[in-house]
Structure 1
Amino acid sequence: MNHELNSSAAIKEALPTVFGYIGIGLAFGIVAKAAGFSPWITLLMSLFIYAGSAQFIAVSMLAAHSPVASIVFAVFLVNARMILISTTVAGYLPAQATWKNVVLGSFITDESFALSMNKINYTNHRLNFEWLNAANLVAYWVWAGASVVGAILGNFITDPQAWGLDFAIVAMFLGLLYLQIISEQVLSYSLQLLVVLITLGLMYVGFIFIPTNLLVLVVTLITCGLGVWLKNEFF
């Protein structure tokens, strides 16, 4: 990464996340095909819903003939964390036209958010529309393309886990986490690692007591609060 905030830099810096999008996008397409959805429907879901985990849930609920209201509510709960993500990113953007904020908020993902949090370490904690929009669009089109290819391959591959495609998203986030930790210039390594361990512990315990579709949101709120307290009290 470097200090440049333009489309060219964004595309180059987003490339490492592409492999994760390809893997999980292929997996989604295969799952959608197995559930009876055509490649065209799969593509439209990726273009208009554009929410990885929520799309898996939507496909399974549609296949089970769940009520539309239930599907919409479930997708909302899974994606509720995007409210936190968008609010966080907004603090690093300059004042700009409302339509630009809507575009960025509509296309931002967990991965482009993580990329943004890494990028600010090189740009004096600044972002702009051009850079973030380009990073978002790379993710958007790669995800859509991988989904439709996966749906086509679904005629030949019935179990994506056998190919290890389900681990692609995990590997991608591990890479993004590593880059964030080594590039952070303000917070100490010990504090960052402590917060990571707390997050892992809360996720492990949370799986027992908290519904899966709320778990990420709840753990994010708790960990952020604990992180701020730990930083102010001990670091």
Structure 2
Amino acid sequence: MSSPATASPPAEGLRRALPIVLGYVPVGFAFGVLAVKNNIPPSLAVAMAVLMFSGSGQFVFASLWGAGAGILSVIAAVFIVNLRYLLMSAAESPWLARLPRGQRFLLGLGLTDETFAVNITALQRGWPLNPGVMYICNSTTHLAWVIGCTVGAFCGELVNDVRPLGLDYALTAMFLALLVPQCVSRLHVLVALFTTVLSIALKAAGMSQWNVAVATVLGASLGVLLLYARRGPGLNAPGGGSDSGETRPAQPATSEVRP
């Protein structure tokens, strides 16, 4: 990311969005192809991209729909997969709490794993809170996702298999690119490695679909326990922390809000 002092809000928002766009277009295309192959009408696939804007939720929906799952099972699965947004919202809330409710609502509509990663990283580095930058980033990535899904849904019949094109790995590659810059301390690296190994082990043991969710919850829990053990009683003190690279609670209070 560039320094906020050297880039205008539109330029900075587009800069944050660019790496996400490069991942969203091919992954959205892959979803459009998958949706059509699972008997989802192209118009419904595009509507999901516009209204849901959740790659994992949309892929789960398409897979379960194609497998003939009941509507209640589909709704429950998508709801559980998207519960992670509650945690992301809670992580951003110390910075966004001072914004008007309408601005927080608009920013929440564009919250995804990837936009959360780039925006929270900027805030953790002490960059001024600029809702315009975040909104441009979120809107640009949403537009890229809709374009990818639309092309895939209406042109998907021309593609028999997305694997030779490498599109099946695009989402994984994008998540890896977002994970690496966030591993700024040994604690982050440890949690990432533990979660990865546990997820693979659960999958090898026969757990289907839930291995990532279970490993994520356990990995995050391990991180919290280690954080408590390292910080001790000073964990809840304002500005309390250590040299482990975690975000200090006092940071949002000093961030400048730009309209």
Fold shared by both chains (TM-score > 0.5): yes
Structure 1 vs Structure 2: percent identity of aligned residues? 31
Q: Distance in 2 between matches of 1:96 and 1:69?
A: 36
Q: Distance in 1 between matches of 2:21 and 2:180?
A: 17
> 1:217 Cα deviation (Å)?
4.3
Aligned position for 1:212: 209
More helix as a share of residues: 1
> 1:21 Cα deviation (Å)?
0.5
Residue 60 and residue 176 in structure 1: after superposition, are their counterparts in 2 closer, same or farther (change >3 A)?
closer
Residue 129 and residue 158 in structure 1: after superposition, are their counterparts in 2 closer, same or farther (change >3 A)?
same
Q: What is the identity, as a one-letter code, of the residue corresponding to 2:209?
A: T
> 1:226 Cα deviation (Å)?
2.1
Contact 2:199 2:214 survives alignment (8 Å)? no
> 1:173 Cα deviation (Å)?
1.6
SS in 2 for 1:91: helix
How many positions carry a matched residue from both structures?
Answer: 227
- Say if 2:226 is the partner of 1:223: no
Q: Distance in 2 between matches of 1:217 and 1:60?
A: 17
Residue pairs, 1:19-30, within 5 angstroms: 19-30=22-33
RMSD (CA atoms):
2.3
SS in 2 for 1:66: coil
Residue pairs, 1:181-196, within 5 angstroms: 181=183, 184=184, 188=185, 190-196=186-192
**Which structure has the higher relative contact order (CA within 8 Å, separation 6+)?**
1
Aligned position for 2:164: 162
Residue 196 and residue 62 in structure 1: after superposition, are their counterparts in 2 closer, same or farther (change >3 A)?
closer
* C-alpha distance after superposition, 1:99-128 (max 9, x if no partner): 22222222200011111232124435x534
Q: What is the identity, as a one-letter code, of the residue corresponding to 1:136?
A: N
Residue 60 and residue 218 in structure 1: after superposition, are their counterparts in 2 closer, same or farther (change >3 A)?
closer
TM-score normalised by structure 1 residue count: 0.85
> 1:71 Cα deviation (Å)?
1.5
Residue 206 and residue 99 in structure 1: after superposition, are their counterparts in 2 closer, same or farther (change >3 A)?
farther
Q: Distance in 2 between matches of 1:217 and 1:168?
A: 20
Contact 2:26 2:170 survives alignment (8 Å)? yes
Q: Which residue of 71, 76, 95 maps to 2:74?
A: 71
Contact 1:94 1:128 survives alignment (8 Å)? no
> 1:174 Cα deviation (Å)?
1.6
Structure 2: gaps of 5 or more residues? 231-243, 245-259
Q: Which residue of 124, 131, 134 maps to 2:133?
A: 131
SS in 1 for 2:157: coil
Residue 114 and residue 15 in structure 1: after superposition, are their counterparts in 2 closer, same or farther (change >3 A)?
same
Residue 216 and residue 90 in structure 1: after superposition, are their counterparts in 2 closer, same or farther (change >3 A)?
farther
> 1:61 Cα deviation (Å)?
2.7
SS in 2 for 1:29: helix
Q: Distance in 2 between matches of 1:89 and 1:38?
A: 36
Which shifted more, 73-82 or 201-210? Answer: 201-210
Q: Distance in 2 between matches of 1:130 and 1:27?
A: 30
Q: Which residue of 43, 46, 50 maps to 1:43?
A: 46
> 1:210 Cα deviation (Å)?
5.6
* C-alpha distance after superposition, 1:157-180 (max 9, x if no partner): 021112110111111122222233
Which shifted more, 219-228 or 138-147? Answer: 219-228
Q: Distance in 2 between matches of 1:20 and 1:149?
A: 15
Residue pairs, 1:171-182, within 5 angstroms: 171-181=173-183
Q: Which residue of 52, 57, 72 maps to 1:54?
A: 57
Structure 1: gaps of 5 or more residues? none
> 1:90 Cα deviation (Å)?
1.5
